Every structure is written in C-alpha cells, then in structure tokens.
Structure 1
C-alpha cells in the first residue's frame, strides 16, 4: 500500500515514514501544500495523510482541490489538538478521518488499517478480476481457475495497476511512480524485469491474459479470450 504524507515538519514526517516503512507501507513525503496537491492528484496513492497547517497551500485547500479533481483516495487529516472547527471543516470538505497532533504512531497505524479495510470492502473484498484471472493484492495470490501462484509485492502492484487501468496503456514513468515513488532512482530496466517475471507467472498458470508492450509508450493488458 502506497501512502502520501503531506507534512511540513520534516523531522515528524521522516520519523513517521520510517515507522510506516517498517510496517510494510511505501511512503512518499511532501513538505508543502502545492507539491502535496501535485502528488495527490496523480491518483497513484492508496491513502493520503494530510496536515492542515502547510506552507504555500493549506491542507483544507489541498483537500478541496483533490476532491474537486475527482480523486477519491481516503484522506486522514492531521489537526491541532482541540481544534474542533478544523475537524468539522475537514470532514465536510471530504476527509475520511482525522488525527489530532501530537499522536502515537500505533494510533495512526490503526487508522490506516481501518481505511485499508474500508477500501478493500468497496472492491469485491479486495479481489481484482480481469479475464480469467483473480488477484488478491493483500495475500499476493494470483489465480486462474484451480491454478494459483504467489507473486512478489512488486509483481502484485504492477498487475493491480494494469488491471485498474483496464484498456489503457500505462507508461513506464507511471509504473515507476506507483511502484517506487517520485524520488526513486529506479530506471526503465527495473520495470522491464518485473514485467518479464509477471509474464512468466501468467504463462505458468496458463492464463489468456498477456502484457503487451507498446513501443515507446508503455504496457497494456490484453485478453486473448475476450
């Protein structure tokens, strides 16, 4: 699960990011509202943690623009303790939850798990279906009929992205941003390796689904039976 945290206090953001990474979350950090909004509207994140007090653009303005853009990513709003008005305005603007600062990381992890479960319930209990395959992003299990195979985390994230962009070509740049984040040094060759490994696993379960490369553009899922 990929998290965007928009927080201008760098030492807090980096400390929280380390905790989240130890709990198997991928985390990108933004230290001001303008950059945070640019990241959020890319729609590559599963959950956004958004502070209200931010330079360049405050959190509530960011949230309003994100929702106006049609982005439905769950948002946890970070508020000052006791600022009831901010909490109410945040929820009215489209936040899914709020957390008062300072907070314990265990509480944040519990909120993230709750939002993750809620999101999963909205998508066929987390099971993604395409053609003859079923992918469970939580267990990393790929199935076709009675055949099944375990994917790596990156393989699962790649297949999930391609399924959700059904019928659309996904560029290598988007794949890198989704799987490794904005600040990564991952190159196109990394994408090509994971595409190759995923293709082999689709072949091993004899799926009619294939990953087609569109020269100089990206990748798209194809269903030979559809």
Structure 2
C-alpha cells in the first residue's frame, strides 16, 4: 500500500513511518494541511491518515476540500479529539474512519487494510436510476429531470444507500451504522438533519416526492404514485 500521513507531530510521524515500513508499506508524510492537500490531489495513495489539528489548513477543511474536488481516496482521522461531536464532525466532513490517539498500531493497521480493500462502489453498477433521478457512481454526479444537483459527500452517500434500497425502509440505526459507522446512538440529529437537507435538494422543486418518512420506522426512497 501507498499511504500518505499528514500530521504535525514528529513523534507520531516517526512511529507511523517506522511501523508501516516494517509492515512493508510505502509511506509519505507532511506536517501541514496545505502541502497535504497538494500531495493528496497530485499523487495516488491507497489511504490517507491525518490529524485534526494541522497548520495552514485544518484537518476538517482539508478532508472537505478533498471530497468536494472529487478525491475518493479512503481517509482516516488519527487524532486526540475524541468526543462524539468531534467524531461526528470528522465523518460528516468526508472521512471514512476515526481513531483516537494514543493508538495501538495493530488496530490502526487493521483499519487501514480494511479501507484499502474497500471497493469504491458495490457491484459493477455505474448508474442508479429511480424515476427521473439519476446518480453516476463514477463521476459522483446527481441529476433529476436533467438538472444537476450538487450534494455534499455525506449527502451523496445517503442518497446512494436510499437508491440501492429503493422501496425498503431504512431505520435511523441502519443509517448511523452504514453511513456514519456508529454502532451506538450518538444522541444527535445527524440523520434527521441530512435527510432534511437531501429532501430539500432532491424533492423541493419537483411535483413528485421521492424521499419518504415512514413514521416510527425510518426512511424510504420510491416514486410517489
């Protein structure tokens, strides 16, 4: 694997470089967000590991920028900021995983390997269609009735999951686990907020609603009759 580490702490970088090199992995590192952004957008990596606390460009802004510019490389936050709110913010920015310092390298290695082998999309499908809504999984573009709709990375993931499960009810717990990787209830309105934003973009200006709330159960995407 080719791994990019973006961290301003020399001790952490040294530990990661030594440990990953012993495991046969290729490591590149930089200490600030601006140079990290340049490397991440100009060179191919299998996984990016970065801290939240970076100079020049902070970690959250860096991840959000990478996702907005179409960089699909798996990203793992390795940071000392460990509250539920911190983790939610990191995952909402577009990161794929979140691990706290101090860390056990064997756990980090397992997570990195899991991210590296994760397929970018399930199956061989390139385009999803429900009624007049179309999503291209390669270009990550969304169109409804021929009009382009701009979505944030987490909104895109949520829409794809709803479309892949057309007509099925997805519970809040299912969405927390699949989209945000929470295996407990963080007691936030992150799901409701994202569904509301997605509904505003997908349904607001169109006569037929696609995203439906199933009271007491969850959410489902299907064409209105």
**Quick one: structure 1 residues 44 and 123, their matched pair in 2 at CA, closer, same or farther if it must change by over 3 Å?**
farther
**Quick one: structure 1 residues 121 and 92, their matched pair in 2 at CA, closer, same or farther if it must change by over 3 Å?**
closer
How far has the Cα of 1:39 moved from its partner?
0.7
Query: Is 1:22 the counterpart of 2:19 in the alignment?
Result: no
Over 6 Å off, 4+ runs: none
Structure ranking higher in helix proportion: 1
Q: Secondary structure at the match of 2:82?
A: coil
2:53 corresponds in structure 1 to 53
Q: Secondary structure at the match of 1:41?
A: helix
How far has the Cα of 1:93 moved from its partner?
1.2
Distance 1:121 1:67 in 2: 16
Per-residue CA deviation, residues 126-150 of structure 1 (Å, 9 max, x unaligned), is: xxxxxxxxxxxxxxxxxxxxxxxxx
**1:60-139 correspondence to structure 2 within 5 Å:** 60-119=60-119
How far has the Cα of 1:86 moved from its partner?
1.7
1:139 corresponds in structure 2 to none
Distance 1:27 1:53 in 2: 20
1:36 corresponds in structure 2 to 36
How far has the Cα of 1:81 moved from its partner?
4.8
Distance 2:121 2:72 in 1: 15
**Quick one: structure 1 residues 41 and 19, their matched pair in 2 at CA, closer, same or farther if it must change by over 3 Å?**
same
How far has the Cα of 1:103 moved from its partner?
0.6
Q: Where does structure 1 lack aligned partners over 5 or more consecutive residues? A: 125-226
Distance 1:43 1:29 in 2: 12
Q: Secondary structure at the match of 1:115?
A: helix
Query: RMSD across aligned C-alpha pairs, in angstroms?
Result: 1.8
Q: Is the contact between residue 78 and residue 101 of structure 1 (CA under 8 Å) also seen in structure 2?
A: yes
TM-score with structure 1 setting the length: 0.52
How far has the Cα of 1:119 moved from its partner?
3.3
Q: Is the contact between residue 33 and residue 54 of structure 1 (CA under 8 Å) also seen in structure 2?
A: yes
1:152 corresponds in structure 2 to none
Per-residue CA deviation, residues 143-201 of structure 1 (Å, 9 max, x unaligned), is: xxxxxxxxxxxxxxxxxxxxxxxxxxxxxxxxxxxxxxxxxxxxxxxxxxxxxxxxxxx
**Quick one: structure 1 residues 81 and 116, their matched pair in 2 at CA, closer, same or farther if it must change by over 3 Å?**
same
**Quick one: structure 1 residues 13 and 93, their matched pair in 2 at CA, closer, same or farther if it must change by over 3 Å?**
same
Distance 2:59 2:4 in 1: 13
How far has the Cα of 1:123 moved from its partner?
8.5
Work out the number of aligned pairs and report it: 124
TM-score with structure 2 setting the length: 0.52
Q: Is the contact between residue 79 and residue 87 of structure 1 (CA under 8 Å) also seen in structure 2?
A: no
Q: Where does structure 2 lack aligned partners over 5 or more consecutive residues? A: 125-225
